[in-house]
Amino acid sequence: MTINRRNFLFSLGASAALPALAPASHGAQPAAKPGAARAHVDLNGAWERLVEQAHYDLISVPSSHRPIGQFTLKREFTLPKLAPGIRAFVHFEAINYYGRVSVNDVTLGAMGPYTPYEFEFTSHAMEGTNSVSLDLADLVPFADGSGTDEIALGVNPGWEASSGIIRDVYVEMRPATFIDNVRLAYTLTEDFAKARCTAQVITSSNVPVGAEVTLRLIRNQVEVDHAEAARVKQTAKLPADAGTVEFSFDVEHPALWSPATPNLYRLEASLKSADAVDTWVCRTGFREFKAAGREFRLNGERCVLHGVCRHDMWKDQGFTLTRAQQRQDMKMIKDLGCNFVRLVHYPHDRHIVELADEIGLMVSEEPGYWQVDFKTIPRSKIELGYEILERTIRRDWNSPSVVAWLLANECSLTTEFLSEGKRRCNTLDPLHRLVSSANDRGAKITKPMYEEAGMDFFDRHLYTFNVAEFEKEADFYGPSKPLTFTEWGGRAIGQGLPEMQDTVNMLLKLEREGKIAGTSFWSWQDLRQYTRDDAEMHDGILESGAVTESREPRPAVCMELKRLFEGRPQFAPVEPRPAILPLRRIPWATRSTLMPVPLDGVLAANGAAWKAFEAAMEKYWPTVRADDQWARTGSKFELWRQSAEDEIRLAGAPFRPALVERHVRPLVAGKRFELEIPIAQRCTRLHILGGISLPLGYPMIGKAGDVAATCELLSASGKATEIPLRWGFEVVQGNMIHDGTRIQPVAAQAQAAIEYIKDAAREQYQILLYSTPRFEANMLATLRCTVADERNWIAIFAITAEKE
């Protein structure tokens, strides 16, 4: 049966939205945007499927299907008579797994999996009806053995294989001389104020020709005044076949790309010759991503990769997703808090990388190896993987989102394989992106191998309930290179809340300590993996995802991943704040002037007393069966946070405590540490916020009425006034926890003004307001406090002077 399905044909002079293409020899180029006047014939739609050369059915292209062995896909399309100098190409974004393409019964060449291929058929194009056919081997190689390596690579036990023309296919007409690709290389100056750029415009021509080649870089991809960041032009003699025109230029103050600010530029190359005009366009951006010791640094700042492992699949659709599904996927990943996506384990659709560029997600890419032993596999299969990765590099080399190439996944590696892989990546990639390999083998084997091969970072996959193993691995790999855990989790960990919480807590710890540089959770979505039957599976579906195959989120998994990506501890403490209590009586006159006494200047002189006080607090806790309390509360007596501009207001009166690193710190007096506070105010009374004893006080020690401490007020004239601070009258114990009970120490001559819960189980403090007796208005110079008992420390938080 012959399908007589005609395409709408764009006129040769019309501008069409189309992907810009790769060199004819490689066919691996990012989809470009509108701008090139190339006629474009869409070959998506219905294709006839033939099995054993007989009609079997019609299928829609692009689409993914279950492998059947071998089959042929055919369709017809319409072309006008090609004008002199016009060239015709058929372009496949991707097929699976091995195919031979023909146009008008002339075989053009063969294709492997996942990456773009294209073939020129100018000499075979006909005016009117043309036919294109693809012989596919997806499960069984052809009789001559062709497709053996491709099928072995793609059809494996790790995930469900799908075959067919899995991505777009089209015919494109181009001028005799056209632009195949642009390879942009750059380095950023140390201050990131300038990008020094080298761009290679790669051309293809039928014959040697002179041409004017122009390269433009436009900020924010929009044609507006002053948006052009660079424009360079030269006239070049282009050879027949492939040629290169090279430009060097600087971009001043480039807008840097990052997940937080995904700034993009429009890179545009144009060519004019005597008989040809062509334009090529893509998006690009500037960023620096490098390894430095144990860290990754993005644009000069430490960058921890927070990601998920994403397969390019969607339920029964295999590898063929709609644009809406692709955008939904990447947006959901971004909204989860990710800054990174590990694109596993084969090249994903180019549009996924474009979305990563646009919304701000770093990605890594892989060639398709899984559970391969590089000591035993044939060279042809090794070469296939290298070729797939090289095609992916050519396709994506201008994308700022791509930060790393992973040579393989969970394989038995050799130093030779890794070394050659890195060399080939670095040779082709204009930015020399980081190179490594996703690894599930023991560190003792792989660490020296990665070091000898010059891998840019270490990697490890860990699926374990013993979270201490993460730290053990990090310590073993050491500080010489960044370490990533590009797989962890799965169903057993991810969907077991205590296990997931413990793992996230450990990863957060290792991030804080700088021992790891990134993680990616396995996996983003559930996927099909038949034959496997274990606790991770359900009826052929690997249920390891943060979302299901249909992208319904698993709330508990997503909650913990979001916590990891935001750096939040499991029990994120709400920073305690002091509670201002209503005063039983207002001790100052309404017409009085109230002036806070500055205390920050006393901190240095009080330093030795403070050190001794903290040592006393540390020794105290074990005596009340709270051995861990000092360490539990940070091994310091730290109170609430307050800005320097803020005051404590008690019934409208201002009190200004001393601050250390923006935390309130009381001044302390002990038996051997007298406290002297300059007042330097003309006043008639002092209002002292404190009146508490630490760690012990009345009623737990002392007798009511006994003198706990003495305040001496010294005037500028030398007159001294002594005020006793008595247990139960002016001073009581500050902590309102005693043994298993909350207590309420009461001072008859002072009133509770503030309550502060430092630790709900063991440290709930009250702070008293004590007002001195009135005295004659004079210049008060100093307050001096001495303590009578070795067992206690008197704390003064703030003092306000009153002048009536």
| 119-178 tens-digit pLDDT | 999 999 999 999 999 999 999 999 999 999 999 999 999 999 999 999 999 999 999 999
Q: What is the pLDDT of residues 725-745, one digit of tens each?
A: 999 999 999 999 998 899 999
**Radius of gyration of the chain from Cα atoms?**
37
781-799: b (≥16 Cβ within 10 Å) or e:
bebbbbbbbebbbbbbbbb
Beta strands in 568-716 (DSSP E): 579-580, 593-596, 648-650, 653-655, 659-660, 663-664, 667-669, 675-683, 685-690, 692-695, 707-715
Q: Which of the 8 DSSP states describes residue 781?
A: E
Quick check: 373 pLDDT over 60? yes
Render 670-705 in DSSP notation, one character per residue: BTTB-EEEEEEEEESEEEEEE-EEEE--TTTSS-TT
Over residues 528-540, the mean pLDDT reads 94
Do the beta carbons of residue 102 and residue 75 sit within 8 Å?
Answer: no
**Residues 702-707: contacts with CB under 8 Å, at least 24 apart:** 702/727, 702/728, 702/789, 702/792, 703/727, 704/728, 704/729, 705/729, 707/788
DSSP 8-state code for residue 350: H
Give the mean model confidence (pLDDT) for residues 498-506: 96
Residues 6+ apart with CB under 8 A from 180: 21, 22, 23, 24, 29, 202, 203, 204, 242, 280
The length of the chain is 804
Kindly state the DSSP code that residue 775 receives in the 8-state scheme: -
Q: How confident is the model at residue 20 (pLDDT cuts 50, 70, 90)?
A: very low
pLDDT at 23 over 60: no
User: Per the structure block, which two tokens stand in for 184?
Assistant: 């942009």
Q: Count Cα atoms within 13 angstroms, Cβ side, for 301.
A: 7
pLDDT tops 60 at residue 562:
yes
* Amino acid symbol at 96: N
Residue 231 · residue 191 · CB < 8 Å: no
Amino acid at 382: I
Residue 613 has pLDDT above 70, yes or no: yes
Asked if residue 180 lies in contact with residue 202, where contact means CB atoms within 8 angstroms, the answer is yes
- 460 touches 468 (CB < 8 A): no
Q: Distance between CA atoms of 179 and 87, rounded to whole angstroms?
A: 13
Q: Bridge-partner residues for 770, per DSSP?
A: 688
Q: Could you give the CA distance from residue 771 to residue 775 in angstroms, rounded to a whole number?
A: 12
Specify the DSSP class assigned to residue 239.
P
Residue 350 backbone phi and psi in degrees, to 5: -55, -35
Collapsing DSSP to helix, strand or coil, 447 comes out as: helix
Model pLDDT for residues 262-274, shown as the tens digit of each residue? 999 999 999 999 9
* Max CA separation in the chain (angstroms): 118
pTM for the model stands at 0.74
In contact, 686 and 783? CB cutoff 8 Å: yes
Q: For 7, which DSSP code?
A: P
What mean pLDDT do residues 233-244 have? 95
Q: CA 36 to CA 586: how far, in whole Å?
A: 81
219 contact partners, CB below 8 Å, separation of at least 6: 227, 228, 229, 255, 263, 265
**Whole-angstrom Cα distance, residue 516 to residue 250?**
35
| Percent of the chain whose predicted confidence (pLDDT) is above 90 | 89
DSSP 8-state code for residue 451: H
pLDDT band at 111 (very low <50, low <70, confident <90, very high): very high
Alpha-carbon gap, residue 439 to 721, rounded angstroms:
77
Q: Could you give the 3-state DSSP secondary structure of residue 215?
A: strand
pLDDT at residue number 10: 25
**According to the model, what pLDDT value does residue 225 have?**
53
For residues 93-121, one letter each, b for 16 or more C-beta atoms within 10 angstroms of the residue's C-beta and e for the rest, the string is bbbbbbbbbbbeeeebebbbbbbbbbbbb
Band (pLDDT 50/70/90 cuts) for residue 418 is very high
Nearest by Cα to 133 from 67, 53, 68, 65 = 53
Tokens of 750: 């002072």
Amino acid 37: pLDDT: 67
Contacts of residue 1, Cβ cutoff 8 Å, sequence gap at least 6: 48, 55
Residue 31 has pLDDT above 60, yes or no: no
pLDDT, position 220 = 75
Instruction: Give the per-residue pLDDT at 778.
Output: 85
Token digits for 157? 């036990």
Both tokens of 432, joined, read 């020399």
**Phi, psi angle pair for 472, to nearest 5°:** -60, -45
Q: What pLDDT does residue 21 have?
A: 29
- The separation between CA 391 and the C-alpha centre of its own chain, rounded to angstroms, equals 26
HSE of 430, CA atoms in CB hemisphere, 13 A: 22
Region of residue 143 (left: phi > 0; alpha: psi -120 to 50; beta: else)? alpha
Q: What type of residue is 688? A: I
pLDDT of 2 above 80: no
Where do runs of H (alpha helix) occur along 214-361?
323-335, 350-359
Residues 133, 126: Cα–Cα separation, whole Å = 15
Q: Mean pLDDT throughout 337-360?
A: 98
Assess whether the previous peptide bond of 657 is cis (omega < 30° from 0): no
Q: What is the pLDDT of residues 768-792, one digit of tens each?
A: 999 999 988 889 999 999 999 888 9
Query: What backbone phi and psi angles, to 5 degrees, belong to 660?
Result: -130, 120
Amino acid identity for residue 798 in this structure = A
Tens digit of each residue's pLDDT (9 = 90 or more) over 355-370: 999 999 999 999 999 9
Distance CA 693, CA 649 (A): 22
Using DSSP, state whether 30 is helix, strand or coil. coil
- C-beta of residue 596 within 8 angstroms of C-beta of residue 780: no
Tally of CA atoms within 13 A in the half-sphere of 198 that contains its CB: 7
3-state secondary structure of 50: strand
Report how far residue 652's alpha carbon sits from residue 494's, in angstroms, rounded to the nearest whole number: 53
pLDDT of residue 226: 55
Average pLDDT, the chain: 92
Cβ atoms within 10 A of the Cβ of 194, count?
16
Average pLDDT of the segment spanning 634-639 = 93
Instruction: Please give the structure tokens belonging to residue 568.
Output: 């939040």
User: Could you tell me what percentage of the chain is helix, strand and coil, using 3-state DSSP and rounding each to the nearest 5?
Assistant: 20, 40, 40
For residue range 711-724, what is the model confidence (pLDDT) as tens digits? 999 999 889 999 99
The pLDDT score that the predictor gives to residue 275 is 86
Is 284's pLDDT higher than 90? Answer: yes
* Residues 569-591, mean pLDDT to the nearest whole number: 86
Per-residue pLDDT reduced to its tens digit, 389-403? 999 999 999 999 999
pLDDT band at 590 (very low <50, low <70, confident <90, very high): confident
C-alpha 120/C-alpha 172 separation (Å) is: 9
Sequence-separated (6 or more) residues with CB below 8 Å from residue 403: 289, 340, 362, 363, 364, 433, 434
Contact yes or no for 23/428 (Cβ under 8 A)? no
| Rounded distance between C-alpha atoms, residue 543 and residue 526, angstroms | 5
Average pLDDT over residues 296-320: 97
Tell whether the model's pLDDT for residue 323 goes beyond 80: yes
